[in-house]
Each structure stands twice: as structure tokens, then as C-alpha cells.
Chain A
């Protein structure tokens, strides 16, 4: 859970996001640390994806404060985007571009050729690990949902970001893809990255993460160690937090 000796890499305080009349996020506060992975759990519409979008610098907060890798999302969105790798909850792929063209776009905009001369080899390796090597030059419009999810995880992890944001990475993904995603999360943690995983799947969340934050109706209702969410007792505790 929290580490009293380290500064949080992601710090959210009283976050509010409103879309017109709808309050998608209503006062979320959380902290996440380097080398740790935090799961955001909650029902549909709990505000998980909107929180992730704020942390990715895609949606500005209406109120409250969010700092990612030392950068305020409102004041320094470009710095935030440089620090994070984001797998969005819906699709996340340009329909008529190929996986390799997605990789090239990300590599160019993230300046990978200058920071990592071997980026192409690493990108190919990632595509192979997610079993996307054979379709690297096919447009993504013809991809299955699971293939799309796997590619989104590859794109998020491509540049070894300081903060890895995975929104529903296991949704519709086959066991091979789940394993590869788990490996990406473990790799990120081992190199000291901060990982946030938003998902409905409690069992996979506790397997992948060290701590869990539960959101309900746009607000955070609990934060605990992932081990407290395991087994039947964990399932009962989770249900209790959702109702």
C-alpha cells in the first residue's frame, strides 16, 4: 500500500471531473508509488476510466489536483504525456493504420530513435510476445477485440514509461494475452515504474497489483493491500464495497 519513505509518483487529491450535468469523478484521492502496481476497481460508471484519462493528460480535471511523475496534469499536460504510457478503455487504435504504423507514430512522437537506438528490435519483440508479429502490417479495423486490447498494451509499454496506465487491459483477452500483460506489468514494476490498472476483474487485479483502490459513484471508497481482496473473503469484501 502506501510507502512512508517514498514520494508518490501519482498523487491525486480531491479530483472532480464534470461533463455538463454529469459528475464522472467526484472527489477521488489516491497515491501510487514507483515499483508498485495499483488496481482501480469498481462498477461501470464508477469513474475509473475518467480518472485514468485525467492521469494520461487526455481529460483536464474540473477541480482538484493530479500530479503525475512530478508534473501537474493541468499545467504541464505535455510533460505528463511524455511520462506515461496509456492503454485506453475503448479501442485505442486508429482503424485504418497498421500496428507497425501505430508503433512508428508513438516512437516518433516519443523521440525513441534518439533515446533508444534499439527501439525497433524491442518493438518487434513486444509484438511477438503479444502474438501480433504476423499481423504487424495489417490495418487494425479487421482486428478482433482481444487483438486490439493486446496492441494497446504494447503501445502503452513501448517506451518503458515511468507511469503505466492500463485501462481494462484484460477485457476480452485470451490467456496468452493475459500472461503477456502480466509480464509487462511485472517488468514495469521491476524497473521502478508506477503501474495503475483499471479493471472489473478482481481476481486478475489482485494477481497483477500490490494495492487496490475501490471507486463507487465517482468517489473512492476504500484503499487496501491486494492480498486483502483475495479468495472468498476478498470477494465478499469487494461486493460489500460496491453496494
Chain B
């Protein structure tokens, strides 16, 4: 009869103390790639409507294919027509794609997670897997998609039907390379953020980079810098399709992609072994007691404000969203008429930080808050107010910085800006509260890498928001030329009324206890 091992059995002690075999680099990478597959399948298994995901992917592929090919057959396309103008700016656009990828990944603390941090802690998920997962999720971002489509479409139009089939593989590889390089930069920045004084260093670096860019722009040298970017070689390869240039270009790009993807794992490992200082500071931080607020609404607003402004992703996101477009406006010397599209851009990005799943701010405290004796509309009003306040702060910051170079506006331009800001804020708050109530998700927003809803859902939300707010911004841009400033204000009245009516409809829905119970039990499961 077999018995348990004796405590004096030396063979057992030797086996227990022997270190586990360490995988070599090839096995480690193979394991990381396999783990990405497992995590992806796990995530896909939790998709609520798989058929919709399949339709979404099919539409995305068809749209990308159409964008990549059709402009080549448009009138004027090609280097011998109007396409030449586009061809000349293509190297700069390609370089800009890397900047966008790096900013998006850095703003989200190294990119999105395939598995949220808390559930991931029980699994042996390596930083390499995490890095590869962030790369896979990078395209599930409306800014990435629009930039990628813009590059594909611009290339198609620039090279024309004669070269399009050869040019697009180069652009496709460039999109992969740009995303991977952006990810490398983002992991390096995240690693630096996590050393003592790292956050201050990164902030200083941002100021220096922006200052240099602004200085070059004011000196009229920015265009010549863009003209010297090395992506010119790739653009020339698109229209000089000779075997001794084209094939080596493709092979070189493919190798660079592999190298960049592999390289990203190094800073990802370094960052993973450092403590996220900003999150730690928030979680260990003390906040002095303040006097008791005077009303239910004020105390609810104060609690909701704490949930927003003490969260790392929200603070970091607000700065990126507010200052990014403002920097572009400054560098591009936008006038007030064009600036009316900025509030829409900023608020539709800002609401994606938490506003599309606004009840998840309470996390597991949602059940307790729902048990408190107050009117449900008070809780709704507080949440909508805090969301609007957050979005308006970001918009104000953007417009204030952008206006430094635009000079004083005309009364009509000022009225158009105010109208646009009011209307897009109401539109976006209404949409955010509606989606939060209809489709709540259990989301923990402690980490800068967290999103309030699954990435694919976020893409749908951002596309719809971008469409509505861009149209609104362009409409007010047209009316900013009106001779009477009352005209844009009168335009704002019906639009604001319509958005307010929609917001009030959601407020009525929130009064239904069955609706609230579904929402709070869902978000409390985070």
C-alpha cells in the first residue's frame, strides 16, 4: 500500500528545493504568443452578441479595402494629377502615425489590457504577453482607425491606379511598424514614469518637445523638418517599383516590424517590474475632511467628483485630450472658425474615459449607494453634472490654449464657439448617460490602462460620437461667419433643446427601480 513521503526522505527534499527549469528565449516567446491566443479566445467568449462582432469585423475589413483601393480610381488620382500634392505630404503623414500611436499607447499607460489587472493576477501572464496583447488591441481605437484609413486613402489617391497594388502592402507594413514603434516608445515612457521623479520628468519632456515644435513652426522651419523625414524613401519606393528597390523595401519593413515587436517586450518587462507611482499615490493618499455639504445633490456631486478627479486614467486622459488638439491648433495656426470643431473632438474623447459607463465610478460601492435614501434623480443629476463639468473643463482648456495664437474672435465666432461647446456637451452627456443606463459593464477604473467598456464596444461608441460632434462642429463653423452673432446662438437653441429632451428621457428611465437594479448589480460585480 503506498504511503506518503517521509519527512526524512532526502529525494523529496531535493526535488522540492530544485528550481523550476527556465525556458529559453524562443520557448518564452512561443509561450507568450500562445497565451495571447488563449486570452483573445477568452475575451471573444465574453462578447455578448458574437454575430454582431463578426458583422463588425467584416464591415471593417470591407471598409478598409474600399478606402485602400477606390481613391486610386478617382479623377485626378496619381502622381501625374492632383495626387502629386498628396504624395508630397505622405512622408509627413506616415511619420505622424508613429507619433499618434505613441501618444495613444502612452496615455493609456502602455496600451490596453487583454485581461484586466485584478483578474490577471491569478494567471501566469508575462509582460511579453501583455505587450503583445496591447499591440493586438491598438487598432481597436477610433483615432488609430481614422489615421490608418486616412493613410490608406491618401496613398491610394496619391499613387493612382498604376501603383496602388504595390503601394498598399508598404503602407500596411508601415501601419504595423508604426504601431509597434509607438508601443516601444509608450513602454519606455511608462518605465520612466515609474522611477522617482519620473512623472515630473515626462511632463518636462512634453513641454520641451512641444516648445521645440512650436519654435520650429514660428520660425517657419517645421515644413522643412517634415521634408527630411526618412519615410520619403518608402514613398519613393511606392512609385519606383523596380525589383532591386521594391522587394528589399518590403523585406526590410517586415524585418523592422518583427524587430520592433520584439524590442517592445524589453521596456514592457522593465515597466512591469516598477510600481505605478501615480496610482499608488492616489490609493495611499489622504484627503482632509471638509464641512458637511448643504444638500443631497451637493454631497452626491462631491462624491462623484472624487471618483473622477482622483482616478489616474481620468486625469491623464483629460490632459492628453485637452492639450493634444490644442497643440495641433497652435502648430496649425487654426482660426476661430475652424476651432469650433475642437470642443466636439475633446468632449467625444473625454466621455470615453468613463462617461459611457458612468455608474461604474462607484464600483462595488454601487449597491451601498443605491441603498441610501435619496431620490434616484438626485443621483442621476449629480452624475450628469460631474460628467458635464469634466468635459467642459477639457474643452475650456483646449480652446484657451488654442486661442493663444488665434487672436481675439469676432462676436459671431465667439457665439459660434459657445453654441458649439454647449450643444456638443449636451449631446455627449446625453449619449454617455444613455449608454451607461442601457449597457452597463463591470469595470475597474483604477489602472490607467483600463477602459469603461470592452474595446470593440468603445470603437462603436467613439465612431458614433465622432460623427455627431464633427457634424455639429462643422455646422457651427459655417455659422461663425454670420454677420449677426445671434445667428449661431439661435441655431444652438433647438439643438440644445433636442439634446436636453433626450437627456431627460434617460433621467426618467433611471427612475425605474428595475433599470437601476440591473445597472448597480452589473457594475458592482467589478
Q: Shortest distance in angstroms between B509's beta carbon and chain A's nearest beta carbon?
A: 15
Judging by beta carbons under 8 Å apart, are B372 and A105 in contact? yes
Scoring B residues 279 to 301 as 1 if CB is less than 8 Å from chain A, else 0, what string do you get?
00011111111001101100110
Q: Which of A38-46, A81-89, A234-242 contacts B (4 or more CB under 8 A)?
A: A81-89
Q: Shortest distance in angstroms between A194's beta carbon and chain B's nearest beta carbon?
A: 16
Q: Which residues of chain B (144-158) have a CB below 8 Å from chain A? A: none
Judging by beta carbons under 8 Å apart, are B524 and A88 in contact? yes
Scoring B residues 510 to 526 as 1 if CB is less than 8 Å from chain A, else 0, what string do you get?
00011001101100110
Judging by beta carbons under 8 Å apart, are A109 and B520 in contact? no
Q: Determine if B21 is an interface residue (Cβ-Cβ < 8 Å).
A: no
Judging by beta carbons under 8 Å apart, are B371 and A91 in contact? no
With A59-B521, A81-B373 as known contacts, state yes or no: A141 contacts B283, CB within 8 Å: yes
Q: Which of A95-103, A168-176, A198-206, A210-218 contacts B (4 or more CB under 8 A)?
A: A95-103
Judging by beta carbons under 8 Å apart, are B303 and A105 in contact? yes
Judging by beta carbons under 8 Å apart, are B521 and A88 in contact? no
Q: Determine if A90 is an interface residue (Cβ-Cβ < 8 Å).
A: yes
Q: Identify which of A84, A90, A96 contacts B367 (C-beta below 8 A).
A: A90
Q: Chain A residue with minimal CB distance to B293?
A: A108
Q: Shortest distance in angstroms between B25's beta carbon and chain A's nearest beta carbon?
A: 37
Once the chains are docked, how many angstroms separate the CA of A107 from the CA of B284? 25
Judging by beta carbons under 8 Å apart, are A86 and B368 in contact? yes
Once the chains are docked, how many angstroms separate the CA of A100 from the CA of B299? 12
Judging by beta carbons under 8 Å apart, are B446 and A109 in contact? no
Which of chain A's residues have a CB closer than 8 A to the CB of B514?
60
Once the chains are docked, how many angstroms separate the CA of A88 from the CA of B524? 10
With A108-B293, A110-B373 as known contacts, state yes or no: A139 contacts B282, CB within 8 Å: yes
Judging by beta carbons under 8 Å apart, are B371 and A59 in contact? no
Judging by beta carbons under 8 Å apart, are A97 and B513 in contact? no
Q: Determine if A57 is an interface residue (Cβ-Cβ < 8 Å).
A: yes
Q: Which residues of chain A (124-166) have a CB below 8 Å from chain B? A: 136-139, 141-142, 152, 155
Judging by beta carbons under 8 Å apart, are A101 and B306 in contact? yes
Q: Determine if B113 is an interface residue (Cβ-Cβ < 8 Å).
A: no
Once the chains are docked, how many angstroms separate the CA of A35 from the CA of B302? 37
Q: Shortest distance in angstroms between B489's beta carbon and chain A's nearest beta carbon?
A: 38
Q: Which residues of chain B (416-464) have a CB below 8 Å from chain A? A: 444, 446
Which of chain A's residues have a CB closer than 8 A to the CB of B444?
95
Which of chain B's residues have a CB closer than 8 A to the CB of A108?
292-293, 295-296, 299
Judging by beta carbons under 8 Å apart, are B307 and A96 in contact? yes
Q: Determine if B130 is an interface residue (Cβ-Cβ < 8 Å).
A: no
Q: Which of B254-262, B358-366, B496-504 contacts A (4 or more CB under 8 A)?
A: B358-366
Judging by beta carbons under 8 Å apart, are A137 and B310 in contact? no
Judging by beta carbons under 8 Å apart, are B289 and A105 in contact? no
Q: Determine if B370 is an interface residue (Cβ-Cβ < 8 Å).
A: yes
Question: Of B307, B368, B520, which is in contact with the most chain A CB atoms at under 10 Å from its CB?
Answer: B368
Once the chains are docked, how many angstroms separate the CA of A101 from the CA of B293? 11
Q: Determine if B200 is an interface residue (Cβ-Cβ < 8 Å).
A: no
Q: Determine if B80 is an interface residue (Cβ-Cβ < 8 Å).
A: no
Q: Identify which of B373, B521, B524 contacts A109 (C-beta below 8 A).
A: B373
Judging by beta carbons under 8 Å apart, are B371 and A84 in contact? yes
Interface residue SS majority, chain B: helix
Once the chains are docked, how many angstroms separate the CA of A57 from the CA of B370? 8
Q: Chain A residue with minimal CB distance to B367?
A: A88
With A101-B302, A138-B285, A142-B284 as known contacts, state yes or no: A92 contacts B368, CB within 8 Å: yes
Q: Which residues of chain A (50-93) have a CB below 8 Å from chain B? A: 53, 56-60, 77-78, 81-82, 84, 86-88, 90-93
Judging by beta carbons under 8 Å apart, are A91 and B524 in contact? yes
Q: Determine if B508 is an interface residue (Cβ-Cβ < 8 Å).
A: no
Once the chains are docked, how many angstroms separate the CA of A101 from the CA of B291? 10
Q: Shortest distance in angstroms between B385's beta carbon and chain A's nearest beta carbon?
A: 16
Once the chains are docked, how many angstroms separate the CA of A86 from the CA of B295? 22
Q: Which residues of chain B (246-289) have a CB below 8 Å from chain A? A: 282-289
Which of chain A's residues have a CB closer than 8 A to the CB of B289?
100, 104, 136-137
Which of chain A's residues have a CB closer than 8 A to the CB of B524?
88, 90-91
Once the chains are docked, how many angstroms separate the CA of A106 from the CA of B364? 16
Q: Chain B residue with minimal CB distance to A62?
A: B514
Which of chain A's residues have a CB closer than 8 A to the CB of B446?
95, 141
Q: Shortest distance in angstroms between A127's beta carbon and chain B's nearest beta carbon?
A: 12
Q: Shortest distance in angstroms between A37's beta carbon and chain B's nearest beta carbon?
A: 19
Which of chain B's residues have a CB closer than 8 A to the CB of A93?
363-365, 368
Which of chain A's residues have a CB closer than 8 A to the CB of B94?
none
Q: Shortest distance in angstroms between B53's beta carbon and chain A's nearest beta carbon?
A: 21
Q: Determine if A231 is an interface residue (Cβ-Cβ < 8 Å).
A: no
Judging by beta carbons under 8 Å apart, are B299 and A105 in contact? yes
Question: Can you report 29 residue pairs joining A to B where beta carbons are below 8 Å apart?
Answer: A53-B367, A58-B371, A60-B517, A77-B513, A81-B373, A84-B371, A87-B368, A88-B368, A90-B525, A93-B364, A94-B306, A94-B361, A94-B362, A94-B365, A94-B369, A95-B362, A95-B365, A97-B365, A101-B306, A102-B365, A104-B289, A108-B299, A110-B372, A113-B292, A137-B286, A137-B287, A137-B289, A138-B284, A139-B306
B residues in contact (CB < 8 Å) with A: 282-289, 292-293, 295-296, 299-300, 302-303, 306-307, 310-311, 361-365, 367-375, 444, 446, 513-514, 517-518, 520-521, 524-525
A90-B525, A101-B302 are known contacts; what are 16 more A-B pairs with Cβ within 8 Å?
A53-B521, A56-B371, A57-B371, A59-B517, A78-B375, A81-B371, A92-B368, A93-B364, A101-B287, A106-B372, A108-B292, A108-B299, A109-B372, A137-B288, A138-B285, A155-B368
A residues in contact (CB < 8 Å) with B: 19, 53, 56-60, 77-78, 81-82, 84, 86-88, 90-98, 100-102, 104-110, 113, 136-139, 141-142, 152, 155
